[in-house]
Structure 1
């Protein structure tokens, strides 16, 4: 299980390649994690934040992308550090133009969570 929630400030509507960012993260989890994230459990979604205040509230071009990853427990600290350092670098590089165009903040948070799931997508992927 790896669920990724991307939150972005509405003032990025015309300049943020959301589909590209979501694909980058999903592909990275499928391909670079050595199967640590089962493909059928990967979810990546993005939501626009229409109401927000950034910093002092006086920078109309101030913008943000916040990425939250929720995953089941059990991955080692060494894996998490190595994997998410690399993922953050890939995302930062993907969004590099935004840092040059405007005041921009990028954050990535990772949380291990306990949850209950029922999923028949794994069955489709095997079949």
Structure 2
């Protein structure tokens, strides 16, 4: 299980490619985690945030992109460090000059969670 939620401020509408960012994250989880994240458990979603205040609230151009990742417990600290450092670098590179075009705060938080789930996607993938 690896679920990523991207929150982004409404003033970034049309400024970056959300679909490409979601696919980048999913692909990194699928292709670069050495199977630690089963393909059938990967979820990436994006939510536009329409109501927000950033910093002192004085600049309507201030923007943020926040990525929250939830994963099941048990991944080693070494794996988490290497994988999420690389993922964050990929995301920063993907956003490219967006940091120069507008005041932008990018953050990513990763947490291990305990949850209950039932998933028949794994069965389809084994096909």
TM range (shorter): over 0.9
Q: Distance in 2 between matches of 1:14 and 1:28?
A: 24
SS state at 1:28 partner:
helix
Instruction: Name the counterpart of 1:78.
Output: 78
Structure 2 gap segments, 5+ residues each: none
TM-superposed CA distance for 1:96, in Å, is 1.7
**1:48-101 per-position Cα deviation (integer Å, ceiling 9, x unaligned):** 000000000011100000000000000000100010000000000101221010
TM-score, normalised via structure 2 length: 0.99
Alignment of 1:1-127 (within 5 A): 1-127=1-127
Partner-residue secondary structure (3-state), 1:23: helix
Residue aligned with 2:108, SS = strand
Q: What is the total number of aligned residue pairs between the two structures?
A: 127
Instruction: String of CA shifts for 1:24-53, please: whole Å, max 9, x gaps.
Output: 000000000000000000000000000000
SS at match of 1:91: helix
The RMSD of aligned alpha carbons is 0.4
Distance in structure 2 (CA, Å) of the matches to 1:108 and 1:119: 26
Secondary structure (helix, strand or coil) at the match of 2:65 reads: strand
